[in-house]
Amino acid sequence: MNILPRISCSLLPVLLCTALLGGCKGKNESPLFLESNRKAGEAEAPVKDVPTDILSTQKAFSTVAKKVTPSVVNISTVSRRKVIQPLFEATPFFEDFFGAPQTRRDKSLGSGFLISPDGYIVTNDHVVRDAESIQVKLSNDKMYDAKVVGADRKSDIAIIKINASNLPTSVLGDSDKLEVGQWAIAIGNPFGLDRTMTVGVISATGRSNMGIETYENFIQTDASINPGNSGGPLLNVYGEVIGINTAIVSAGQGIGFAIPVNMAKPVISQLIQKGRVSRGYMGVTIQPVTDELAQSFGLKQAKGALVNNVIKGGPADKSGIRQGDVIIGLNGSEVKDPSHLQLLVADAGVGKLSKVSIFRDGKTFELGITLANADTAPTLQEKHGSQQQESGSGLLGLVVENAEQGGGVVVVDVERGGVAEEAGIKRGDVIASINRKRVATTAEYARAVQQAGQVGRLVMLVRRGDASIYFALRLK
């Protein structure tokens, strides 16, 4: 009698496979991979004693990411741009034959950060400029339509708003206390990759004359900033916003720029309160102080901003500032160069009395000036002509003749390789003064050059179009 239980034939392959799998790993066989005993595995970590400062730094970065990321938003915009027709658009009959110019819808991405629980967001002006629609995505993946509250092209800062409440907000820090070498953390939306965090250091501060914006005082960092990071926060290890990521150098890596948060704060306030920014206006045109000009004017260092023209009736004219003055300070802050003075004047406040430090004729003194609104600033317009009374000068390599209007002498020819050409003097320039003495005629010009030849150098004030420029020339 067969007492063995019957086993279904369909179960035999399963049992057979189970038996084979159970025998696959013998006692002496190694596992396919090693797992760390820090994860309940059987192997020890390759490095047992990690320095505590490294662990602390790592934890600090993770903490910043957890605390700040919820206040960082992704911004997507849709704008309509004109399609260029290079061959035919210049003709006045283009629209008659081809209709209205075609447009295309462009989509772009950027970043921003919340500064209030009710939905005010800071970003770059160039992120939302000319946008037909703006959408904001929060860290919880909720989407909101946004509108522009105010934008300032000169500083590249904009405020947008969404209709929401109880939102996480960023904390603004103090960018004036930054030092080169401190940690810098960027969070944003590069290439559409949500809330990417990169880490680097502060590479430099006070970067200006970059040709990016009108008002520049950038923080430079090597924390990776890529397209889509624009408008996002640059943070310190405390999670405080120290800058607004705004630009990169496309030709190289590790060179990104952020707007200092202290420069952004007054702009943010004005944009929220009135939708635009009002800046101070002094009423002068200025130029850098070169080493040659500093020596000619008697300055110990090539610092400050040289006044090459004073607009009649402006704040500077009323306060007593003159052409040829060197502005070396404003409200207790030392002026480094013209760009720095431009920033100081912009932030000084409209209608407020300011103290300007002047260097004139070897002496330093202060003047009071009440800055006007830059929106009401007049434009400087000067015209000149010439009369056919020529005078030559072998010392400078110039041929000049009397100007018709405004006084001075106009340059009609520049000797190639001469002192004037090397200094940058061009045909059409009007020489207004030499060594800070007015030159009204060719005769006065010739006498001034002859006297300067005995000293071996001169300072020349030149009008070029609507601008006035000082040149320092060394005579051969």
Convert the pLDDT of each residue in 399-408 to its tens digit.
888 876 667 8
| 465 touches 454 (CB < 8 A) | no
pLDDT at 12: 47
Determine which one of 155, 230, 354, 468 is catalytic: 230
**For this structure, is 325 an active site residue?**
no
Residue range 228-252, pLDDT digits in tens: 889 999 999 999 999 999 987 766 6
CATH code that applies to domain 175-274: 2.40.10.10
Is 340 known to be catalytic? no
In this prediction, the residues of the chain whose per-residue pLDDT falls under 70 are: 1-29, 80-104, 209-212, 250-252, 376-394, 404-406, 454, 476
390-474 CATH fold:
Pdz3 Domain (2.30.42)
Residue 234 C-alpha from the chain's centroid? 14
> DSSP class of residue 103?
E
Considering 156, 325, 347, 429, which one is annotated as catalytic? 156
Residues of each domain in the chain carrying CATH 2.40.10.10: 70-83+102-162, 175-274
176-229: pLDDT as tens digits = 999 999 999 999 988 878 889 999 999 999 887 666 677 778 899 998 888 888
Start-end of CATH 2.30.42.10 domains in the chain: 280-376, 390-474
Q: What is the fold, at CATH topology level, of the domain defined by 280-376?
A: Pdz3 Domain (2.30.42)
- Tokens encoding 212: 């990016």
Instruction: Examine the residue annotation and report whether 230 is marked as an active-site residue of this protein.
Output: yes
Catalytic residue among 76, 111, 126, 224: 126
Fold of the domain built from segment(s) 70-83+102-162: Thrombin, subunit H (2.40.10)
Going through 282-429 in order, the beta strands assigned E by DSSP cover 284-288, 305-310, 326-330, 333-334, 353-360, 363-370, 372-373, 390-393, 398-402, 409-414
